[in-house]
Amino acid sequence: MLIAVLAGLIVSILFIPFGKFFRQRAAIAVSLLPISLFLYFLSYIPAVRSGSSVSFHYPWVPSMGINLDFHLDGLALLFSLLITGIGSLVFLYASSYLKGHPYLDRFYAYLSLFMASMLGLVLSDNILLLFIFWELTSISSFFLIGFNNDDPASRKSALIALAVTGGGGLLLMAGLILMGHLSGSYSIQEMADNAERLKNHALYGLILVLVFAGAFTKSAQFPFHFWLPGAMKAPTPISAYLHSATMVKAGVYLLARFSPVLGGSDYWQYTLLIVGGITMLYSAFHSIFRTDLKGILAYSTIAALGILVFLIGIGTPESLVAASVFILVHALYKASLFLTTGIIDHKTGTRDVTQLAGLRHVMLPLAIGGLLAALSSAGLPLTFGFIGKDLIYEATLHSPGLLRFVLTAVAVLTNIFLLYAGFLAGIKPFTGSLPQQFKGIHLPNGLLWIPPVLLSLLGVLFGCFPAWIGEVLLHPAAQSMTRLTTAAPLKIWHGFNLVLLLSGATLILGTLLYWVRKPSEQRLSALTRFNMLSPEELFRRLYRSLIRLSVWYTNTLHNGYLRVYLLRIVVFAILLLAFRLFTADGIVIDLGTVSPVSIYEIVVGAILVGGLYLSVTTSSRLTAVAATSVVGYCICLMFVFYSAPDLAMTQFTIDTLTVVLFVLVLFRLPPFLNFANNSVKIRDGIIATLFGCIISLIGLLVLSEPIRTEVSNYYGDNAYVLAKGKNVVNVILVDFRGIDTMFEIVVLSIAAIGVYSLLKLRLRATEKE
Amino acid sequence: MKSTILKTATSYLLPILLLFSVFILLRGHYHPGGGFVGGLIASIAFVLHGFTYGTENTLKLMRYHPAVLIPAGLALATLSMFAPVLLGLPVMTGLWIDEPIPVIGMVGSALFFDLGVYLVVIGVVLTILFTITQYNE
pLDDT of residue A769: 43
Residues A578, A693 contacting (CB under 8 angstroms):
no
Chain A nearest CA to B130, separation (Å): 9
The amino acid that residue A165 corresponds to is: T
CA gap A93, A98 in Å, rounded? 9
Residue A642 CB contacts under 8 Å (≥ 6 apart), including other chains: none
B108 interfacial to chain A (CB closer than 8 Å) = yes
Rounded alpha-carbon distances, angstroms, from residue A35 to A240, A339, B49: 17, 18, 61
Report the alpha-carbon distance of residue A178 to residue A161 in Å, rounded: 26
Average pLDDT, chain A: 84
Tell me how many degrees the CA angle A266-A271-A277 measures, rounded to the nearest 5: 125
Instruction: Select from B73, B96, B131 the Cβ nearest to the Cβ of A724.
Output: B96
- How much is the pLDDT for A763? 55
Question: Rounded to a whole number, what is the distance in Å from the CA of B29 to chain A's nearest CA?
Answer: 5
Rounded Cα–Cα distance for residues A509 and A123 (Å): 41
Query: What was the pLDDT predicted at A530?
Result: 67
pTM (2 d.p.)? 0.74
Residue A598 pLDDT > 90, yes or no?
A: no
Q: Which of A9-18, A518-527, A541-550, A658-667 has the lowest mean pLDDT?
A: A518-527
| Cβ–Cβ contact A764 with B under 8 A | no
pLDDT digits (tens, 9 = 90+) for B26-85: 888 778 888 888 999 999 999 888 888 888 888 888 888 888 999 999 999 888 888 877
Non-local (6+) Cβ contacts of A319 within 8 A are: A311, A312, A395, A396, A399
Sort B86 into a burial class: Cβ within 10 Å, 0-12 / 13-18 / 19+: exposed
The C-alpha of A61 sits at a distance from chain B's nearest C-alpha, in angstroms, of 10
CB contact at 8 A, A138 and A166: yes
Give percent of chain A above pLDDT 90.
21
Closest CA to A300 of A387, A384, A424: A424
Average pLDDT over residues A578-591: 76
Dist. CA A587–CA A263, nearest whole Å = 53
pLDDT over threshold 80, residue B103? no
pLDDT of residue A484: 59
Q: How far, in Å, CA of A591 to CA of A589, rounded?
A: 6
B-chain residues within 8 Å CB-CB of A745? 73-74, 77, 116-117, 120-121, 124
Residue A416: CA atoms inside 13 Å, Cβ hemisphere, count?
19
* Burial readout A469-499 (b: 16 or more C-beta within 10 A, e: otherwise): bbeebbbbbbbbbbeeeebeebeeeeeeeeb
* pLDDT score, position A618: 83
CA dist A263 and A310 (Å) reads 13
Q: What is the pLDDT of residues A116-153, one digit of tens each?
A: 999 999 999 888 889 999 999 999 999 998 888 888 88
Query: How distant is the Cα of B129 from the closest Cα of chain A, in angstroms?
Result: 7
pLDDT at A768 over 70: no
Per-residue model confidence (pLDDT) at position A510: 86
> Residues A226-281: pLDDT tens digits?
888 888 888 888 888 888 888 889 999 999 999 888 888 888 988 999 999 999 99
CA distance A299 to A507: 20
pLDDT at A186: 85
Other beta carbons within 10 Å of A562: 7
Identify the H or E element spanning A674: none
What are the pLDDT digits (tens) for A370-422?
899 988 888 888 888 888 888 888 888 887 777 888 888 888 889 988 898 88
Confidence grade of residue A762 (pLDDT, cut at 50, 70, 90)? low
Chain A contacts of B124, Cβ < 8 Å? 745, 748-749, 751-752
User: By mean pLDDT, which of A89-103, A292-306, A715-729 is the weakest?
Assistant: A715-729
Q: List b or e across A264-278, with b for residues whose CB sees 16 or more CB atoms inside 10 angstroms.
A: eeeebbebbbebbbb
Which residue type does A748 have? L
Could you tell me if A612 lies within 8 Å of chain B, comparing CB atoms? no
pLDDT band with cut points at 50, 70 and 90 for residue A644: confident
DSSP per residue, B16-37 = HHHHHHHHHHHHTTTSS--HHH
Burial group, residue B15, by CB count within 10 angstroms (0-12, 13-18, 19+): exposed
Contact B82, B3 (CB under 8 A): no
Burial class (CB in 10 A: 0-12, 13-18, 19+), A79: buried
Provide the number of CB pairs (under 8 Å) joining chain A to chain B. Answer: 139
Write the DSSP symbol of residue A465.
S
pLDDT of res. A761: 73
> CB B129 to CB A664 under 8 A?
yes
Residue A427 in this model has a pLDDT that exceeds 60: yes
From B37, B70, B135, residue closest to A752, measured CB to CB: B70
* Region A27-42 average pLDDT: 86
Contacts of A759 (CB under 8 A, 6+ apart): B131, B132, B134, B135
Tens of pLDDT, residue by residue over A442-467, are 888 888 888 889 989 988 888 888 88
B35 touches chain A (CB under 8 A): yes
Evaluate if residue A765 carries a pLDDT over 60.
no
Residue A60 reports pLDDT greater than 80: no
Which residues in B lie closer than 8 A to residue A61 (C-beta atoms)?
none
Nearest residue to A759 (alpha-carbon basis) of B117, B67, B116, B61: B67
Give the residue-averaged pLDDT of A528-550: 79
CB A298 within 8 A of CB A264: no
User: Which chain B residue shows the shortest CA-CA distance from A668?
Assistant: B136
With residue A218 as reference, give the H or E element that holds it: helix A204-218
Between the CA of residue A405 and those of A281, A395, A504, A612, A752, what are the distances in Å?
Answer: 15, 12, 18, 84, 67
Tell me, yes or no, if A718 comes closer than 8 A to chain B by beta carbon.
no
Is A757 at the interface with chain B, CB within 8 A?
A: no
* A35 φψ region: left (φ > 0), alpha (ψ -120 to 50), beta (else): alpha
User: Nearest-5° angle of CA A268, CA A274, CA A278?
Assistant: 145
C-alpha A760/C-alpha A769 separation (Å) is 15
Per the CB < 8 A criterion, the answer to whether A376 and A423 are in contact is no
Largest CA distance in chain A: 106
User: How far apart are the CA of A624 and the nearest CA of chain B, in angstroms?
Assistant: 20
| Angle, CA A654 vertex, CA A563 and CA A560 arms, to 5° | 20
Judging contacts by C-beta atoms under 8 Å, the chain B residues touching residue A721 are none
> Does A769 or A24 have the greater pLDDT score?
A24
Per the CB < 8 A criterion, the answer to whether A360 and A344 are in contact is no
Name the β-bridge partners of A57.
A69
On whether any CB of chain A is under 8 Å from the CB of B130, the answer is no
State whether residue A201 is helix, strand or coil: coil
Give DSSP secondary structure letters for A586-634: -----GGGSPPPPHHHHHHHHHHHHHHHHHHH-S-HHHHHHHHHHHHHH
Contacts of B136 (CB under 8 A, 6+ apart): A664, A667, A668
- CA distances to A296, A592, A593, A699 from A600, rounded to whole Å, are 84, 21, 20, 21
Cα A269 from Cα A314, distance rounded (Å): 6
* CB within 8 Å: B132 and A665: yes
pLDDT at A767: 54
Helix, strand, coil shares of chain A, percent, nearest 5, are 80, 5, 20
Rounded-to-integer distance, Cα A217 and Cα A94, Å? 27
For residue A521, with 0-12 CB atoms within 10 Å meaning exposed, 13-18 middle and 19 or more buried, which class applies? exposed
pLDDT, residue A529, reads 65
